[in-house]
Amino acid sequence: MLFDSHAHIDDEKFDLDREEVIQRAIDNGVTRMINVGASMSSSARSIALAEKYESIYATVGIHPHDAKDALDTDYEQLARWTSLEKVVAIGEIGLDYYYDYSPREVQRSVFIRQLDIARQTKLPFIIHDRDAHGDVLEILKKEAKGLKGVLHCFSGSLEMANEVIKMGLYVSIAGPVTFKNAAKLPEIVTKVPLEYLLVETDSPYLTPQPFRGKRNEPAYVKLVAEQVANLRGIEIEILAKATSENAKKLFGIS
């Protein structure tokens, strides 16, 4: 009973076999999947997927890569979409200082405006944070007090993990935990309290071992969960149940 808390099944890489990918996930015990919006168009596709498949839920948001293209009308549309039953979060939103596809000042502004939508609509948020740990943490402390959310594909330090957990936020672990160069991540997954932990694939990206280099898909969340369970010294069933319950609690899914 696994829950892939972050996937992009609407991505064009799944255009030829999307139905089979979703069924393969279900066959591998993945009972719930969150399809995450990263632009206005992908948010719309995410909603369409959620409406078609019982096991899929949608989020809507503007990724920092696309922040430069955000319009005032987009925020209005994001807010309207949140009234739909299967839209469960705002995201993915945040900062990306690795690629800098959008100016950093614009990224920060768009990030803050979407946190405000999360506050107004009482939905949780999903954070994208790449090489921007300091600014992400600063904005969260100022703008996200009392809100629920998760830092997806966590890549920060143990100290940062402790800070966001103090805020009541979740930490989500993806395929890099299986990599040989995982560095500090294995230690972090052993120290994060189980009640604040999620697992994800970020499909079609960040494919876990032994399939690294190939297209990722939600069925592979089992490989992430197995590695996290091994590192923590617990049975996969315990890890799967806990992370599934955490995801349902965060996203308000019964």
Q: Evaluate if pTM is beyond 0.75.
A: yes
Annotated binding site for a divalent metal cation: 6, 8, 92, 128, 152, 202
Q: Quote the strand ranges of 38-169, DSSP E.
A: 56-60, 87-96, 125-130, 149-151
Element (H, E) at 198: strand 197-199
Query: CATH number, domain at 227?
Result: 3.20.20.140
pLDDT at 183 over 90: no
Annotated binding site: 6, 8, 92, 128, 152, 202
Q: What is the pLDDT of residues 85-140, one digit of tens each?
A: 999 999 999 999 999 999 999 999 999 999 999 999 999 999 999 999 999 999 99
Q: What is the pLDDT of residues 184-227, one digit of tens each?
A: 999 999 999 999 999 999 999 999 999 999 999 999 999 999 99
Helix-then-strand count for the chain, H and E: 9, 8
> What backbone torsions phi and psi does residue 86 show, to the nearest 5 degrees?
-95, 10
Domain that holds residue 208: 2-251
Q: Domain count of the chain?
A: 1
